[in-house]
Amino acid sequence: MFEATELNLQNQRRERLFRTLFLAMTLLLILPVVVILAMLVYKGGPMISMDFLLTEPTNGMTAGGILPAFVGTIWLVVVALIASVPIGIAAALYLSEYAPDNWLTRAINLAVINLAGVPSIVHALFGVGAFVIFFRFGTSILAASLTLAVMALPVVIVSTREALQAVPQAFREACWSMGATRWQTIRKVVLPNSLSGILTGVILEVSRTAGETAPIMFTGAAFFLPFLPETVWDQTMALSLHLFVISTQVPEVPEALPYGVALVLISLVLSMNAVSIAFRVYLRGKKKW
Amino acid sequence: MSHSADRRDAAWWVDRAVQSLVFVGGISGILFIIGIFIFISKEGYGFIVSTLDFGEFFASPRWRPTSSHNPTYGALALIAGTASVTGLAMIVAVPFSLGAAIYIGEFATGKTREYLKVLVEMLAAIPSVVWGFIGLSIMNPLIIELFNVPVGLNVLNSGIILGLMAAPIMTTLAEDALKAVPDTYREAAEALGATRWQVIFRVVLPAAKNGLVAAILLGVGRGFGETMAVLMASGHSINLPTSPFDSVRALTATIAAELGETAAGSEHYQALFTLGIFLFIVTFVINLTADLVVRGVRKQRP
């Protein structure tokens, strides 16, 4: 008959202690954020109304709504997507379907990792130097969105590559053995089987770009513009910059107003993120292979 | 084989065209990283060759670019600001994210594990300007009240905020590093009679060491380059900090705060781009090191 020795018991106690300790650390990491989010909802919640979303800021941004900032953020995100998604998918296709294992591929991978690590304010400087000044786009939605697009490129590349690589190699081989070219294989087999995975990455990119502030500060986002942008050459307000402006630059803003803006911004970002995650979980459950 | 080896029909040409197109996309990552360096250097190099005094830049804490008769460009206080905030953030974030990664990777199972991972991923998505706002409106009064200090926008505030920001990313990366350790390692250790904590501390952690170091390095890189949160929560005064309650100004925050006030091409404008070049190089080196550290792991393992 097995009987627990003193050593067994000691080990058990020790394991329980560590388990509890690590659980406590995990919770301590998550808890403050939950409390903070609750405070945002509590203080910003009363601000949220259709009026808040659909009117312009008034009284030197100390009252009124956030319509131009909200619409501006949508403009910035959409133009950034149009610019970055095709390039990102092409890059991922190259890395997943074409790239041989050589120094160039390693260099590309390294560049993608580094691009993701470049500080956002350096992206802003690049946007000013390249798009605003060199390409003469001026401070405009176009310049700001292209800056965001370069910044978000690694997100698209990495998530798309993952989606492509999740397609089993046997699918490709079956297609090649029928005499299909690489591109025919990609278009008829690889892309249809990974499209939803790619979409997940794109939604994730929306969530990232919507919250960025530094890259758009000097490239196209304006402190205050009480009308809606009409073309990509216009400047625009943006939710993220609006939050920065009314919480640091404008005097006598009522306390609830920035909480309201923060709540709208974070709801937008987190809901997009949640959609992306839910989509991914759903796909994993549906997978046929 | 019935068909000839030379099959240059329309499909072949389309395939060729797509291959070239995709190749251009493929190298775009390299082009952009080089492009970033070229364009920020182009705006900043005039200052580097004519005005910049390296001794002053790295040794003087006096950043007075707007002084009318004698502007000085000492970045020491800004570097110290960035370093102190990042340092405190790592003190906060490293133990907690490693602990959380161990719990999620080694202890949690099934649904709990999935929920925790999703939660951590969501935390990583909170925009930095929202973190800055939290530092400004929630942490600031809290610090003033708890520690009885006149101003709550300081190293402590931005360090904690930055720690909370960096922790989810580090947790995810560290958990990936733990997951990369083959299960056979754990099974072998368990077969020898090792307890769970012996498996973790004697087998899994040593095997995942490089991946964990890389996770921490990437966290440091992120802290170094974070802009909005540090701009809003650190108090914005140029200072060599001597205590966590001193206000500081980070490199990134300086660029963000001053670029809007400078005329394109002016000395001050070029100096800010020089700070950008410095930031780019430092983060590049950090990311490169992290990559080399991870690569070291792969080389060792057969």
Domain boundaries, chain B: 72-300
Residues A108 and A37 in one domain: no
Residues A252 and A113 in one domain: yes
Q: pLDDT grade, residue B299 (50/70/90)? A: low
Indicate yes or no: CB of A126 within 8 angstroms of CB of B36: yes
Average per-residue pLDDT for chain B: 88
Task: Please indicate whether residue A64 or residue B159 has the higher confidence score (pLDDT).
Answer: B159
Q: pLDDT grade, residue A50 (50/70/90)? A: confident
B64: enclosing H helix or E strand: strand B63-64
CATH assignment of the domain containing A175: 1.10.3720.10
pLDDT at A77 over 70: yes
Residues A59 and A132 in one domain: yes
**A95, A123, A213 ranked by CB distance to B128: nearest:** A213
Q: How far apart are CA B141 and CA B157, in angstroms?
A: 10
Structural domain boundaries enclosing A274: 51-286
Token pair 């009252």 is found at: A63
Indicate yes or no: CB of A19 within 8 angstroms of CB of B291: no
> A239-248 and A191-211 are packed helices; what angle lies between their axes, rounded to 10 degrees?
20
Domain count, chain A: 2
pLDDT at A286 over 90: no
pLDDT tens-place string over residues B160-173: 999 999 999 999 99
CATH number of B72-300: 1.10.3720.10
The percent of residues in chain B predicted with pLDDT above 70, rounded, is 95
Tell me the shortest Cα–Cα distance from B242 to chain A, in angstroms. Answer: 26
Q: With beta carbons under 8 A apart, name residues in chain A contacting B104.
A: 26
pLDDT at A283: 79
Residues A21 and A56 in one domain: no
Residues A25 and A163 in one domain: no
Taking every pair of Cα atoms in chain A, the longest distance, rounded to a whole number of angstroms, is 84
Residues A134 and A29 in one domain: no
Residues A99 and A12 in one domain: no
Residues A68 and A92 in one domain: yes
Residues A40 and A119 in one domain: no
Q: pLDDT grade, residue B33 (50/70/90)? A: very high
Q: How far apart are CA A148 and CA B229, in angstroms?
A: 18
Indicate yes or no: CB of B279 within 8 angstroms of CB of A112: no
Residues A105 and A19 in one domain: no
Residues A213 and A120 in one domain: yes
pLDDT at A127 over 80: yes
Strands (E), chain A: 57-58, 63-64
pLDDT at B1 over 50: no
Indicate yes or no: CB of B129 within 8 angstroms of CB of A129: no
Residue A198: CB atoms within 10 A of its CB come to 20
Q: How far apart are CA A146 and CA A133, in angstroms?
A: 13
pLDDT at A182: 87
pLDDT at B109 over 90: no
pLDDT at A160 over 80: yes
pLDDT tens-place string over residues B13-32: 888 898 899 999 999 999 99
pLDDT at B3 over 70: no
**A22, A157, A270 ranked by CB distance to B99: nearest:** A22
Indicate yes or no: CB of B23 within 8 angstroms of CB of A94: yes
The percent of residues in chain A predicted with pLDDT above 90, rounded, is 44
pLDDT at A141 over 90: yes
Best to test chain B binding among A41, A47, A96, A213 (most B CBs inside 10 Å): A213
Domain boundary among A32, A47, A62: A47
Is A1 within a domain? no
Q: How far apart are CA B29 and CA B38, in angstroms?
A: 14
pLDDT at A285 over 80: no
Q: With beta carbons under 8 A apart, name residues in chain B contacting A208.
A: 125
Least confident interval from A66-75, A99-108, B6-15: B6-15
Tell me the shortest Cα–Cα distance from A56 to chain B, in angstroms. Answer: 21
Q: pLDDT grade, residue A83 (50/70/90)? A: very high
Q: How far apart are CA B36 and CA A125, in angstroms?
A: 9
Q: How far apart are CA B125 and CA A265, in angstroms?
A: 11
Residues A56 and A80 in one domain: yes
